Structure 1
């Protein structure tokens, strides 16, 4: 009985805590790109999310090569470390060459004194998007990094209404930065208290998935890769539609009805599994259900 309970609990935990396929903290590269205000990007997150700090993620970390993926909706604190393509000043008492780069030492980064942002992932930085977004998993299971060797790359939507014009230090644009990153609860994201900035655009229907606060730092269900949802037995993405965006654009009522039916079926399955786990737990506490 205990073995069955453990197995069910493991299945339940894995279903509830599915997360992105890379470490929750580490180092990455960062560039920036133009994203129009109020734009509905690859995840299908509501356009109002762009009023706050957002970013695209490289295809490997994003988890899909089109539409939404497991990283959609996740939030990360991204902190500037150095400009890898511009040499910083040499160490004191050295004869190294001078450059115009910027470098924050480890104690500055760990103390939280360097420029940082909490961003929400709403877009895909495509695999063909130059030397930064092209990290990929090889056939043998290993991951080939981008130009700087990183598995993870953030493409920050900047300039942005939600980010200071002076976020990047220096007197010119260095183009690319080394950054540290750490998954954080989306409650730390600047758009958290604006309910119109959360969830996915209603009109995108089953082509959108943008949880409010998914793993690895939240408890909301995460998105499958879009291509895993295709076919008769495809995965059912969680319903993340933001009703506040309903009616702003044209929609396909038939597709919306199908999506809602699939969501209802998934909710019923989760409820039944919850009841089963509860019954088993009670039986372990009180003795066999049948004498």
Structure 2
């Protein structure tokens, strides 16, 4: 019984350490893209102000996001996403052959590189959960390699769409294909549509240090990056930058209040568990010295 308790506590500590070192997002590359419903004025995992949802926003999968819950290093960062193809689409057949067309939409490399395919700049405000799948579950294995999602990508964007800041016709085709292959590039948030709206920047005032959403973090900008949320619970606690937006003071909606309450409960529980783990470790050390 006692051995099982120690193993459980040590496992929790290992998970905390692993989460702190999970962030490894290249500044550009290929990724998969889906879309999900996010209510307008909703305060999501990063704690970015609800006003941010009036402009293009997205969630990142856990591996690229840099945390298992709450805020992570990717919070507040901005990326230009460009559509490449739907997963089942094949290149157009060679003229004069009977090669199949495939099912979907395919842009040629020339079209993509020319900048003529549908694209937009999004701000990361949410976490796409890793539990379940098949899109958000890319992870780092014990041997250090990265296992991609169902399309083989270790980076996945979940676009908040339909949304006020994105055209209803953003996705081409006569029906919703659900998933796309895309290119992504980290860009300055000065290119984000919400940049000039001061009420759309930063994190919700009521959440204070339970939220972290820099205006223009690295690598795309100069602002300080958020630490993984679990690092703020470690014995040597990381302190997130103060990103609170005073313009959101007293304007929290029901979603914000619920999230704030959940974060506080989770924080209290996590600290209690961590304290218990450290006590167990200390007791074990004292016993065997």
Aligned match of 2:66 in 63, 67, 84?
A: 63
SS at match of 1:175: coil
Alignment of 1:1-291 (within 5 A): 21-87=24-90, 89-249=92-252
* Structure 2 partner of 1:268: none
Deviation beyond 4 Å, 4+ runs, structure 1: 86-89
**So what's the TM-score if we normalise by structure 1?**
0.77
CA contact (8 A) 1:88 1:100 kept: no
User: Runs of 5+ in structure 2 lacking a partner?
Assistant: 1-22, 265-289
How many angstroms apart in 1 are the aligned matches of 2:44 and 2:194? 16
SS at match of 2:94: coil
| Length, aligned pairs only | 235
* Structure 1 partner of 2:8: none
1:138-192 C-alpha deviation (Å, 9 max, x unpaired): 1111111111111100000000100000000000000100000000000000000
SS at match of 1:49: helix
1:184-219 C-alpha deviation (Å, 9 max, x unpaired): 000000000000000000111221000000011100
How many angstroms apart in 1 are the aligned matches of 2:171 and 2:81? 12
SS at match of 1:48: helix
User: Runs of 5+ in structure 1 lacking a partner?
Assistant: 1-19, 256-291
Closer, same or farther in 2 for the Cα pair 1:33/1:91, shift >3 Å? Answer: farther
SS at match of 1:203: helix
CA contact (8 A) 1:68 1:209 kept: yes
Q: CA deviation at 1:101?
A: 1.1
**So what's the TM-score if we normalise by structure 2?**
0.78
How many angstroms apart in 1 are the aligned matches of 2:197 and 2:180? 30
SS at match of 2:135: coil
CA contact (8 A) 1:200 1:241 kept: yes
